[in-house]
Amino acid sequence: MPATRDASAYRIYIEARKIWRSKLEWELTLEETTRILTDVRTAASLGDWGARALLAHFYLEGLGPLKSNKVLEPDPYKAVEIVRIAATAMQPWALYDLGVAYEHGYGGANYDPDLAWAYYLKAAQLGSPEAQMALAQAYSAIRRLGEEQIMQQCAYQQGHGGAALELAMTARINNRFEDAITIYQQGVKFGNSDCAAALWFLFEAGHWSNDTEEEIRSLKSLGIFLDHERSKRYKAISERLKINPDLKLSRLDQVLPLPPAKLPQWSGVEDAFTPESNDPPTY
């Protein structure tokens, strides 16, 4: 993203985004979807690239899944038009999105897998964690597991929740349970609902459902036992993150530390969230 940002346009975008992330999309009212679209368009017209990225997303997916709150039908051509302008400016999110368009062939981007992967590679080099994860999947498919993990680590170091989930699952498969639990915890901090769910299920029974007796003993040696309170807290966080994955849980270790630390009191999931997070993901 550009180094400088117009404060007024950014604020319009952020306030609209907060409304969009306040509920599941089908729960939004017509008044809310109308305001979201109007304000995102306004911020985009004022030059905010976060707003332009979100507007491109709305053009691709539509806004308002019900007749009662629909304000925008999908228009992939308009989505790709916005993405192309940002890609010309070498913004990593747009290079990645343009790669997706060429991989699937929509919005005037004719199906061209080679061009798609060229865009993914450039986006990954410029720091797009989504592109890095796309490359990781490609390396996995041809069993180049070292390169797969390098790409996952690149995305993980940027706070990508999906990368945390993949790395934690790999650690679990390889019986590196302490690493897996630590990485899941980081994934929760990044706003990943599935990482929170993995810890919810872990503490619900004191082990994961498919663990062997030997694996259960290994978990116990790390201080992992059935813990209803921890399970309840991770469940509440997972459900909240399903609605708003923008949330960053910088205080998670203070209100929900991993064993053997004791649980402090908390008044609800808000205790774990950063009151004002930094810039949210592109869309």
Predicted confidence (pLDDT) per residue in 205-216, tens digit: 999 988 899 999
pLDDT at 95 over 70: yes
* pLDDT at residue number 273: 81
- By the 8 A CB rule, do 184 and 161 touch? no
pLDDT digits (tens, 9 = 90+) for 207-251: 998 889 999 999 999 999 999 999 999 999 999 999 999 998 989
* pLDDT at residue number 162: 96
pTM above 0.95, yes or no: no
The one-letter amino acid at 123: A
pLDDT at 281 over 90: no
The one-letter amino acid at 57: H
- By the 8 A CB rule, do 79 and 56 touch? yes
| Average pLDDT score over the chain | 94
pLDDT digits (tens, 9 = 90+) for 179-207: 999 999 999 999 999 999 999 999 999 99
Residues 112-121, mean pLDDT to the nearest whole number: 97
